[in-house]
Amino acid sequence: MAMTMVEKILAKATGQSSVKAGDVLEPKVDLAMSHENAALVLNQFKEIYAGTGHEATVWDPSKIAIIFDHRVPAESSKTATNQKKVRDFVAKQGIAKFHDIRGDQGGICHQILPENGYVRPGCVVVGTDSHTTSHGALGAFSFGIGATEMASVWTLGTVLNVEVPGSIKVVVHGELSQYVLPKDLILYLIGRISAEGANFKVIEFHGPVIRSMSTSGRLVLCNMSVEAGATGGVVPPDGETVRYLREEAGVKDALDIFGPDEDAVYDQVVEIDASSLEPQIACPHTVDNVKPIGEVAGLKIDQVVIGSCTNGRLDDIAVVAEMLSGKKVASGTRMLVFPASSRIYLEALEKGYVAEIMKAGAVMMNSGCGPCLGVHQGALADGDVALTTTNRNFKGRMGNPNSGVYLCSPAVAAASAVTGVITDPRKGAK
Amino acid sequence: MGKVVLKLGDDISTDIIYPGRYMATVLPTETPQYAFADYADFNAKVKQKEFPAQSVILAGKNFGCGSSREQAASCLKGPDFVIVARDFARIFLQNSINLGLRTVICPGIDASEGDELEVTADTVINKTSGRAFATVALPKARQAIVDAGGLIPYTRKRLGEKHGSAA
């Protein structure tokens, strides 16, 4: 029987020739990722073993990755203590894929995994983070789970009782215009199908725009698939996937490259013409409250944030540096830039982007999640408006329920930082 | 049977249920103090343990959307709430099942704050209005975890089988 991408991956992970949506399986896990919430996972992990007489030992330390990114450096003694507990656990269990708070190898989990070659096409990846959907960009079935479920994975090496999700095929035709970016495409899609339009399903991306898109852009699409409720997003792997893994992630071993069957069955097909797409803005307080930029242009902004697992990559920082070059961040507007990883930060430094950004008046921050989840590094005042390249604009998301968060692409964010109001980056462009 | 103590709209995110700034708190015994922290009146009543067990939080579509943070489920499990919603976001629903927080999918539910609801095997009966609404059963795979008392005992059983077969 013809299979979608996720059906094929789950057939492989369970050693079956064929599976179909609705089947209940127990797939083997190729990579299990956690961040600071590993502190909660390890509590639950110990609880599973309590009273069994067995020593709590993870099933395979080489398949576990732990990356500190949500609150780095620690914003409180409580976080610091949790991080310390995790450090001790990592050492005891022999977990090598551990990225601590470091300037040479730290960063956001959803950048650390791809850039270190931890994710391969055709693999099953789980993470205690909803944006684990990101890694579908490399052709994996990658999805978010809770801490107790991760504790179960650490114990058994499988995910229990997984229902094979149905898939939505999204076909993107045409060509993106200048300063219209993958972020605009995914915001448009979420606005069109709604914040729960893909709940319990996988979004499978196809079409010429996807085929010509960089892995960095594909990560944006898969990352935000969860904002439409999707279990996962996935891009069938191709030459670009192999190029990225070989050239950027340093992967040398054999890769298993496969796509969905031509006649696979989808729950829904969504066709998009990218050529007519404009920059998009998700307005408070839901990610599907999406408007073309013309409808919100001119709104005054207090804080601009560039970064997060969605848009803190080198190409994002490049477009920001280009738009800020020789200009100044508007008086009355604060601008914070968080490279997604130390490696990206160093590359941005070498290419001169950091100097352009700082000379314009923006603040370069350390790699990490920053204010995206409202813990530290850029809380908002009552009444503040933030324009940000992050992924969520829920009420209170940036730490203050009396503020408004607008989501956009790096090009929109940078153009708007210069004017102090939401601005179309195509204005004044050649 | 429980009274509706909080009625909410659609797309209630985990940032509303359990704000990110409290994520360093992980113990299920400690998380309830931050449940709906930005809803000051409701949060104060949770902290003062004013709500009897099985009190109902009523929500619209896509309840629990957003983060995978398990605190959003554990903070409601502590006071033993029942969540009745038109539907739930995937990770929140799974976390609730894993932790034993009672979730009821009821697409047509119509009730107001203060109404008394009775949840049966396949309906929610609004005792105050006298109307009944059909519920959607959990898929069998998830029900099995509920029946085991949550994912920890479910996994512990599997762990025993694993060690048993290896012996």
Assign B163 a pLDDT band (cuts: 50, 70, 90): confident
pLDDT (mean) for A220-242: 98
**Chain A nearest CA to B42, separation (Å):** 16
Distance CA B29, CA B16 (A): 19
The whole-model pTM stands at 0.97
Q: Which pLDDT value is given to residue B167?
A: 37
pLDDT (mean) for B16-40: 95
A36 chain-B contacts, CB cut-off 8 A: 23-24
pLDDT (mean) for A2-31: 97
* Cis bond upstream, residue B52 (ω within 30): no
* Cis bond upstream, residue A285 (ω within 30): yes
8 A C-beta contact, residue A204 and residue A236: yes
Q: Chain A 200-259, CB below 8 Å of chain B: which residues?
A: 200, 229, 231
State yes or no: pLDDT of A233 exceeds 80: yes
B162 chain-A contacts, CB cut-off 8 A: 156
8 A C-beta contact, residue A218 and residue A235: yes
Fold of A280-419: Aconitase; domain 3 (3.30.499)
State yes or no: pLDDT of B151 exceeds 60: yes
Of the candidates A117, A146, A28, A36, the one whose C-alpha atom is nearest the C-alpha of residue A368 is A36
- Nearest chain A residue (CA) to B36: A396
Q: What is the mean pLDDT of chain A?
A: 97
pLDDT (mean) for A366-378: 95
pLDDT (mean) for A347-361: 98
Most B CBs within 10 Å: which of A394, A403, A405, as the mutation test of the B interface? A394
Q: Which pLDDT value is given to residue B166?
A: 45
pLDDT (mean) for B129-148: 92
pLDDT (mean) for A409-414: 98
State yes or no: pLDDT of B165 exceeds 60: no
State yes or no: pLDDT of A235 exceeds 80: yes
**Chain A nearest CA to B110, separation (Å):** 21
State yes or no: pLDDT of A21 exceeds 80: yes
Q: What is the mean pLDDT of chain B?
A: 94
Q: Which pLDDT value is given to residue A430?
A: 45
> What letter does residue A244 receive in the DSSP assignment?
I
8 A C-beta contact, residue B65 and residue A196: yes
Assign A1 a pLDDT band (cuts: 50, 70, 90): confident
pLDDT (mean) for A108-131: 98
State yes or no: pLDDT of B162 exceeds 90: no
- C-beta atoms of A374 and B159 within 8 A: no
CATH of B2-136, one of 3.30.460.80, 3.40.50.12280, 3.20.19.10, 3.10.20.30: 3.20.19.10
DSSP-derived secondary structure for A334-373: EEEE--SBHHHHHHHHHTTHHHHHHHTTPEE--SS-GGGG
State yes or no: pLDDT of A186 exceeds 70: yes
**CATH architecture of structural domain A5-272:** 2-Layer Sandwich (3.30)
pLDDT in tens, A296-311: 999 999 999 999 999 9
State yes or no: pLDDT of A169 exceeds 90: yes
Q: Which of B11, B24, B156 sits opposite A71 (nearest CB)?
A: B24
- Domain chopping of chain B, boundaries: 2-136, 138-167
Q: Compute CA distances B51 → A429, B3, B34, B104, B116, whole Å.
A: 59, 9, 15, 19, 13
pLDDT (mean) for A180-195: 98
